[in-house]
Structures are given as C-alpha cells and as structure tokens.
Structure 1
Amino acid sequence: MSSCAADDLAIRSLRQRWAFHRDQGDFAGMAGCFHPEATASISWFNGKVADLVPLLVASDAARKPGEHGKHWVGNCRVDQRGDRALLESDMAILIREYIDGQLFDYTGHCRFLDQVERRAGRWGILHWTAIFDKDRLDPAQGEAPAWLREVDLATPDAGLAFMRLRQRRKGRDVPASTVVGGGEAERQLRRGAWAWLERRDGQ
C-alpha cells in the first residue's frame, strides 16, 4: 500500500472507530481518536472534547431501559496536505429515547467536518464540527403530541428543528454556533477549514 493510500485509510478510520467506540460506551477508545486539545461544536455542546467526555458518560449512565443510540457513518471525503487533512463524513444519528414520558425515535442527517493532524506519526482529530442537514422525530408508540406537530420547518435553521426541540424538552440549549447546512455558517466554516489546511491562517 502506498503512503498516500495508507494515510487516506488512517484518516477515514478515525470516524469509523469513533462511532463504534462512542456507541459501545468505550470512551477511552473514543478519546483516542482526538488530540488532547481537540474541540467539538455539535448539537448541544461547544468546547473541548476532554470536557465533553464526562457529559457523555453521564448521559449514557442515565439511559432508561429501551433507550438506545447509534451513529452511522456513510460516505467520506479526505483532502490532505502533508500532515494536515480535512475529513468530511456523512452521518446518521439514530436515537430512541423518552421525552416527557413518551418513547420517540429521532433521526438526524448531518455531516462531520473534521480538521485532522498527524503528530509523531499518528493521525488525530483536532477540530470537530457537525453540520446539520435535516432531521425528524417520530413517536415509537402512540400519537404525536401537539408540541411535535407545531414545529416550524420553514425557517433557515430547519435542518436541526427537531434536535433543537428535543434538547429544549430535556432542558438543554443548542449553542448559537451550531452549523446548519447550506447557509453562511457552513460557508464560513469551510473557508476557515481550508485556510487552516493550506496554512493560510498563520497557524
């Protein structure tokens, strides 16, 4: 295998390993996909991955019987420049959970844009940003409550309308920095990521 192909495989495998470790509750394995100072900007968190891990541990520990989560990795694209790379991965977030005592299935379609760096021969994620394209929330049993039927899907941030709704029902806020696909926030994210990749950002 050529060094280029080996790098491509190592970079792509980061998200596959992350998804498996995350869904199996192997948070040490998950953390091994990142560099120590890595950051994450996702649906309900914006900060250091090291600070995110304890929140995920607590969230998993609080799951009720019948609740379940799965992250499904789809197509990936790698753009590499030396020891830096951008990894963009299609992602389906599949969650079964109780909200207000009723069991729901959540499906979110998003993309993870990762800034990846090789250090001492090891590739790791440095910055992780989720880009939300569309989502939905369906009752696993029973009828849809009024608060679900009244969601407005004609807004610029409709790509995470149901993620925002479910987080609000859980008492969480979605950070203002959360990126919705196709808008100016995604364009700014891409410009910054490519400047970093091509070392036009002074770093």
Structure 2
Amino acid sequence: MAHANTLETMLARQDIQDCIMRYARGIDRGDEELLLSCYWEDAHEIHGPAYNGPAVPYLKEAAKRMKANKPVMQHFIGNVHIELEGDAVAQVETYILTFARFAKDGQDFDTFTGARAYDRFEKREGEWRIAHRQAVFDWNRDMPSAETWCLGLFDTGHADMVMGAKAPDDLTYSRK
C-alpha cells in the first residue's frame, strides 16, 4: 500500500536507503562499526545455508573475515522497494549484485551473484535499522579469475594507481 509523500515518509525512505548503502560499504570494507550501525542488537539474519541466527555475531565474523582474508568484494545496490507500515516499521526489498573473488584449490575464482534482501526495518528512538533480514538468491556465475587490468592499460604498480583496501586503509576513510 502506497503512502502519500509527506516530509516524514520521504525522510523515512531516505534514512532506510542510507542504511542499505552503509551496509554495502561496511561489508565491502570489512568495517565492523559501520555494519553494526545498520542492524538492531536483537536483529536476525538468514543468509542462505551459510548462516541463520542473531545478526550481530554474523556481522562481527564477516568483518573479521573480510579484514583477515582481504577478499575483493563489491556490493552494488539496485532497486529498493520500501513499504512503510505506520511510523515505525517498513518492509524493504533490495536488489543486490555482488562481485567477489575467492580462492578454491589454489586458484582464484570470480563470482557474480544476483540476490535480494528482504528486510524488516524498525524505527526505534528516531533511527531506522534492520530488525530482520532474509537473503534470496536469484542467480550466480562463477569463473576462473583472469584479471589483466583492461588488457594492461592500467599499471597496478604505478604511483597514481590507487587500489581498494579494507578499513581503515581504503581511500574512502581519508578526508582531504
């Protein structure tokens, strides 16, 4: 059911979208503090067969794993559909494209996944965060990694080539 666009509903939608973007940045950078800012302490996470339980331990382990293993990972946020239910609950469907590089049997593989997050957001003390997340996986493509940086156009050793890193070493954490 659609709500009229009042200032309150527009602000709610913006706060929810900001939270979703914080999640993508937090997981890709391995930033535990940023990830935890997206979920309520009592939130629940269902991430396929990989995890089903309280969100906080999952997020802490994910941030730790991202920093320790330093895998290449990027989450791209697509369509976001928000259904507000009163002033304090929203049902949210978010399309997510994920690129990740993982090693298996000594070889790097690139994996592309199309998924959706079905979230119940709750507003508590004026702040919107995820109270429950269910991941839905739509498609996946795995292939051996063949990184050549645009067929050699980009020299990864050049002083001007800035490579992505995990928190707090990534360029996004510096302010110039």
1:102: which partner in 2?
107
Q: How many equivalent residue pairs?
A: 139
Bigger strand share: 2
Question: How many percent of aligned residue pairs carry the same amino acid?
Answer: 27
Unaligned runs of 5+ in 1: 142-203
Q: Scaled by the length of structure 1, what TM-score is found?
A: 0.65
1:8-41 Cα distance to aligned partner (Å, 9 max, x none): 1111221111101221121111101111100100
Aligned pairs for 1:1-203 (under 5 A) are 2-43=7-48, 44-63=50-69, 67-82=71-86, 83-141=88-146
Q: Root-mean-square deviation (CA), in Å? A: 1.4
Paired AA for residue 129 in structure 1: Q
Say whether the 8 Å CA contact 1:93–1:108 is kept in structure 2: yes
Say whether the 8 Å CA contact 2:108–2:145 is kept in structure 1: yes
Paired AA for residue 68 in structure 1: V
2:155: which partner in 1?
none
Unaligned runs of 5+ in 2: 1-5, 147-176
Paired AA for residue 73 in structure 2: G
1:112-132 Cα distance to aligned partner (Å, 9 max, x none): 010011111111100011011
Paired AA for residue 88 in structure 1: E
Say whether the 8 Å CA contact 1:12–1:87 is kept in structure 2: no
Bigger helix share: 1
Partners of 2:12 and 2:107 in 1: CA distance = 45
Partners of 1:84 and 1:114 in 2: CA distance = 10
Q: Give the secondary structure class of the aligned counterpart of 1:12.
A: helix
Partners of 2:46 and 2:23 in 1: CA distance = 16
Segments ≥4 residues shifted beyond 4 Å: none
